[in-house]
Amino acid sequence: MSDNFEKALKIRELAKKHNEFFKESIPLIASENVMSPLALEMLLTDLGSRYAEGLPHHRYYQGNKFVDEIEDLAIAYAKQLFRSDQADPRPISGTNANIAAIYGLTKPGDRITVPPLSGGGHISAAKFGAVGLRGLDSSDYPFDNDEMNIDVDGTIKLIREKKPKVCLIGQSVYLFPTPIRDIMDAVHEVGAKLWYDGAHVLGLIAGGVFQDPLREGADIITASTHKTFPGPQHGIILGKTSEETWKSVQRGVFPGSLSNHHLNAMAALAVTLAEELEFGNEYARKIVENAKALAVALNEEGFNVLGEKKGFTESHTLVVDVRKQGGGKLSSEMLEDVDIVLNKNLLPWDSSKNSQDPSGLRIGTQEVTRIGFEKSEMKEIAKLMADLLIKKRDPSAVRSDVRELKGRHQMIRFCFGQEKAYTYHEIFR
């Protein structure tokens, strides 16, 4: 056996260890999910070795006749699911979709208004992210800590003052729907486009349980497709806008920000779109039910869960202030050590705080819901977290209980063939 073969086997062994870790862990990262076996199968096809540039039936490569059919269907399914006039399934990630939107809607020097990072805004909309790299003049919306949402009156004032070309709505901490309709008069008054980043809540939008941005005034929605929407790590753009604007956005996709668009992932996205047409409402409804149940249970266990005034959350996400438990960094690391996986996160008052040591934790229920956790088991998760962080129970005992709870959930739900849909951790052993 050669040394280089040993190197390859080392990677395989580490991947198997990763699978085993997540097989035993409770996954609560708000930006992750698992695909169905049918969607996962698409990643293993010959599509993953091929290239397609441009739009269906107008390619720069031969050999795309079946790719064109797949992409046509992905577009059709997306337009049906989201009731959109336009859909582009080519972006290879949510951030790539955002970059395409920035290129398509703006030019350097244009003004844009965005959510603040400490209020849940995404890094691609920050001055050090894609917005800044495009050379845009960005201004943050004021944030209402009590409402855990943008401050409507302050946002309207900002839009009228700055007269931006684009108003970006959308967060990576999304507890409650953004009051789009309340700010649309100001958006129209200054002649701006409204862009909605729906990466985190795309599956909730698809299921009809969160908000409907395209009917509320958004020109386009950008999103990743692997959070509440349980597809591959890919992206999508949806539109209800003028053909001129849509063509500009599509030029932002290709040739603006990508060449080939990862055809196997695009096919997996098409499969997931079809599954969401079948199961999307039930799945989205259960995600939110579980998030609400977990928030209440954590609050009852003694954690400071934000958003209590409005019922903690209307999405898959909840946010916990863990300053009393040592802060977000320490708490998330302690939980990982007992196989509860979530992430530290900035809270609204952390604007001047180191993002590597924030005050909070961000928790998502989309993946545990996908593998069959019910509302009653949210109480078990909350108790395990409290046992470790508040009651200081022996970590080895907590870890044992975590693994017992997770051991009951090794099947993927809300997909075709779900009676045989084992998780990756069972398939790749």
Q: Examine residue 15 and state whether it is found in any structural domain, yes or no.
A: no
CA–CA gap between residue 147 and residue 168 (Å, rounded):
19
| 377 and 303 co-located in one domain | yes
Is residue 355 within 8 A of residue 19, CB to CB? The reply is no
| 304 and 266 co-located in one domain | no
Residue 418 has a pLDDT of: 80
* Model pLDDT for residues 185-229, shown as the tens digit of each residue: 999 999 999 999 999 999 999 999 999 999 999 999 999 999 999
| 94 and 192 co-located in one domain | yes
Residue 275 structure tokens:
């599954």
User: Domain of 337: which CATH number?
Assistant: 3.90.1150.10
**Closest to 224 measured CA to CA, from 172, 174, 286:** 172
- What separation, in Å, do the N-terminal and C-terminal C-alpha atoms of the chain show? 22
| 336 and 305 co-located in one domain | yes
Q: What is the DSSP letter of 176?
A: S
- Work out whether strand 235-239 and strand 220-224 pair parallel, antiparallel, or are unpaired: antiparallel
Tally the domains of the chain: 2
Does residue 90 register a pLDDT over 90?
Answer: yes
Residue 347 has a pLDDT of: 87
Angle, helices 375-389 vs 328-337, to 10°: value is 110
Distances from the Cα of 291 to the Cαs of 228, 303, 318, 333, 415, in angstroms?
A: 12, 15, 7, 22, 21
Does residue 106 register a pLDDT over 90?
Answer: yes
Q: 168 is in which domain, residue-wise? A: 39-273
Distance of CA 399 to the CA centre of its chain: 27
- Confidence grade of residue 61 (pLDDT, cut at 50, 70, 90): very high
Mean pLDDT of 123-137: 82
Does residue 352 register a pLDDT over 60?
Answer: no
Mean pLDDT, all residues of the chain: 94
| 236 and 286 co-located in one domain | no
Q: Examine residue 375 and state whether it is found in any structural domain, yes or no.
A: yes
| 342 and 421 co-located in one domain | yes
| 260 and 321 co-located in one domain | no
Residue 49 has a pLDDT of: 97
| 70 and 145 co-located in one domain | yes
pTM of the model: 0.95
Residue 95 has a pLDDT of: 93
* Model pLDDT for residues 20-39, shown as the tens digit of each residue: 999 999 999 999 999 999 99
| 93 and 172 co-located in one domain | yes
Least confident of 151-165, 239-253, 415-429: 415-429
Place of tokens 């470790």: 388
Q: Which of the pair, 115 or 132, is modelled with greater confidence?
A: 115
| 251 and 299 co-located in one domain | no
Q: Examine residue 347 and state whether it is found in any structural domain, yes or no.
A: yes
